[in-house]
């Protein structure tokens, strides 16, 4: 895979290093001369000097043949524009944008730049994951593919507690893909019994969260109930 | 007309004064409070007394845009000193707030040209300067 990465901060540099280690071809673009020279000592020709929001810099970096463009500069407007140009001008099918200020996430969505990754959001999700309430945790959202993976804890007295997977009244378009019990995860079969205290991972079509939560919340009510 | 100008540098502030003098409603948004001085420059009355509006805030913040009146704007001018900021806020004005006329300053001729093909009204001072130099040098 050929990957163009805009921005050689900590994220960009480490991404480049990891991807090169996995055998991918990478070009990293960095606008700061001193930063570029430091990184060039390690990555050599895989890093290029220039402003990645300039078209000629992108073209010199080989954006025309990129399979993936990742924009991880410290500036949200730059990341947005680089991804928009990559997709709409150079017809790159896969883009990933970093959102520095989560309040700007709405603009990435407005202009169709997905996925947009915000470290703040990721940490918030981890907090939700580590401090479970009877809400559900979104582990993965794939809006373009219309799929989500969520995690939900089985409450004592929930409709699903003590039932086998096939008995649980789940809406069409959802599936239990894993059960976490006592710190270990396993893939359940149709006759696996789900117990109170288990954490259940489900894959689902967006919009089914409420119907699913009902099966796992204490009295069959959603988090708002 | 209600004209919202984001970025009160030399260009933005001058256009703001001209538009106000021409009888339009004008609101200016800039993150630097000092940029207000450029609006008062050479005027006998202050910008506000002359009927202008001024909001301090960052161009990409939705609250700042709303406070500056983007919901009522007929014309949106993006004239901050950042090309990418201008291109992003111009598209926000167009797609989210559905402002009728959006005009955006882009210093880089390549991006100005590509985004103008995408339907944005771009103005490129660099291209204008190049054209003037060509005329001055009498080269075709």
Report the sign of the C-alpha dihedral through residues A90, A96, A101, A105, in that order. Answer: positive
The pLDDT value given to residue A167: 93
| Interface residue of B88, B92, B112 to substitute, partner A, most A CBs within 10 Å | B88
B61/A103 touch (CB, cutoff 8 Å), yes or no: yes
A103/B83 touch (CB, cutoff 8 Å), yes or no: no
Q: Which of A54, A89, A110 sits opposite B96 (nearest CB)?
A: A110
Distance from CA of A55 to the nearest CA of B (A): 7
Q: Which of A75, A88, A110 sits opposite B95 (nearest CB)?
A: A110
Distance from CA of A128 to the nearest CA of B (A): 27
Distance from CA of A164 to the nearest CA of B (A): 47
Q: Which of B85, B87, B92 sits opposite A110 (nearest CB)?
A: B92
B95/A103 touch (CB, cutoff 8 Å), yes or no: no
A76/B85 touch (CB, cutoff 8 Å), yes or no: no
The pLDDT value given to residue A148: 87
The residues of A whose Cβ lies within 8 A of any Cβ of B are 53-56, 75-78, 80-81, 85, 88-89, 103-104, 106-107, 110-111
CA end-to-end span of chain A, whole Å? 48
Between residues A116 and A130, the one the model is more confident about: A116
DSSP string over B103-117: EEE-S-HHHHHHHHH
A77/B91 touch (CB, cutoff 8 Å), yes or no: no
pLDDT digits (tens, 9 = 90+) for A133-162: 556 777 777 777 888 888 888 988 899 999
The residues of B whose Cβ lies within 8 A of any Cβ of A are 60-62, 82-85, 87-88, 91-92, 95-96, 108, 110-111, 114, 118
The pLDDT value given to residue A182: 86
**B108 burial type by CB count under 10 A (0-12 exposed, 13-18 middle, 19+ buried):** buried
Residues of B with Cβ-Cβ distance to A80 under 8 angstroms: 84, 88
The pLDDT value given to residue A225: 39
Is it the case that residue B24 has pLDDT exceeding 50? yes
Between residues A99 and A144, the one the model is more confident about: A99
Q: Which tokens in the block code for residue A114?
A: 């997905």
d(CA A20, CA A24): 5
A77/B92 touch (CB, cutoff 8 Å), yes or no: no
d(CA A195, CA B95): 49
Provide the percentage of residues in chain A whose pLDDT is more than 90.
Answer: 69
A75-79, A183-187, B79-83 — which is least confidently predicted?
A183-187
> What ipTM score was computed for the predicted complex, to two decimals?
0.90
Distances, alpha carbon B33 to alpha carbons A46, B8, B25, in Å: 43, 10, 20
Q: Which long-range contacts (CB under 8 A, 24 or more apart) does B30-36 make?
A: B30/B6, B30/B54, B30/B55, B30/B56, B30/B80, B31/B56, B31/B57, B31/B58, B31/B59, B32/B8, B32/B56, B35/B8, B35/B9, B36/B8
Residue A5's closest CA among A34, A25, A33, A32?
Answer: A25
Distances, alpha carbon A131 to alpha carbons A70, A74, A135, A153, B1, in Å: 31, 30, 10, 11, 53
Residues of A with Cβ-Cβ distance to B6 under 8 angstroms: none
Distance from CA of B39 to the nearest CA of A (A): 27
Is it the case that residue A18 has pLDDT exceeding 60? yes
B110/A54 touch (CB, cutoff 8 Å), yes or no: yes
pLDDT digits (tens, 9 = 90+) for B9-19: 999 999 999 99
Is it the case that residue A223 has pLDDT exceeding 90? no
């Amino acid at each position: 895979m050929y990957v163009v990465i805009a921005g050689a901060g900590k994220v960009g540099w480490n991404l480049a290093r990891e991807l090169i280690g996995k055998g991918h071809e990478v070009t990293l673009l960095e606008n700061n001369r001193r930063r570029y020279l430091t990184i060039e000592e390690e990555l050599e020709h895989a890093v290029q000097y220039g402003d990645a929001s300039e078209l000629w810099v992108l073209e010199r970096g080989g954006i025309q043949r990129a399979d993936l463009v990742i924009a991880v500069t410290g500036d949200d407007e730059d990341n947005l524009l680089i991804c928009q140009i990559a997709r709409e001008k150079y017809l790159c099918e896969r883009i990933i944008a970093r959102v520095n200020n989560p309040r700007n996430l709405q603009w990435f969505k407005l202009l169709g730049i997905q996925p947009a990754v915000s470290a703040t959001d990721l940490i918030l999700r981890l907090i939700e994951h580590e401090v479970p309430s009877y809400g559900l945790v979104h582990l993965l959202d794939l809006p373009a593919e219309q799929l989500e993976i969520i995690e939900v804890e089985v409450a004592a007295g929930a409709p699903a507690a003590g039932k086998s997977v096939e008995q649980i009244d789940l809406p069409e378009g959802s599936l239990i893909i894993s059960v976490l019990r006592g710190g270990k995860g396993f893939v359940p079969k149709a006759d696996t019994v789900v117990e109170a205290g288990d954490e259940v991972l489900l894959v689902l079509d967006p919009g089914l969260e409420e119907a699913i939560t009902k099966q796992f919340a204490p009295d069959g009510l959603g988090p708002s109930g | 007309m209600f004209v919202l100008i984001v970025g009160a540098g030399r260009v933005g502030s001058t256009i703001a004064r001209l538009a106000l003098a021409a009888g339009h409603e004008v609101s200016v948004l800039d993150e630097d409070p000092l940029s207000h001085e450029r609006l008062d420059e050479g005027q006998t009355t202050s910008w506000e007394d002359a009927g202008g509006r001024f909001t301090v805030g960052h161009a990409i913040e939705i609250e700042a845009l709303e406070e500056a009146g983007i919901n009522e704007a007929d014309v949106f001018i993006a004239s901050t000193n950042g090309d990418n900021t201008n291109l992003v806020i111009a598209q926000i004005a167009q797609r989210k707030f559905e402002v009728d006329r959006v005009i955006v300053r882009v210093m880089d001729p390549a991006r100005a040209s590509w985004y103008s093909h995408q339907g944005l009204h771009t103005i490129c001072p660099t291209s204008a300067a190049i054209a003037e130099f060509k005329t001055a040098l009498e080269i075709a």
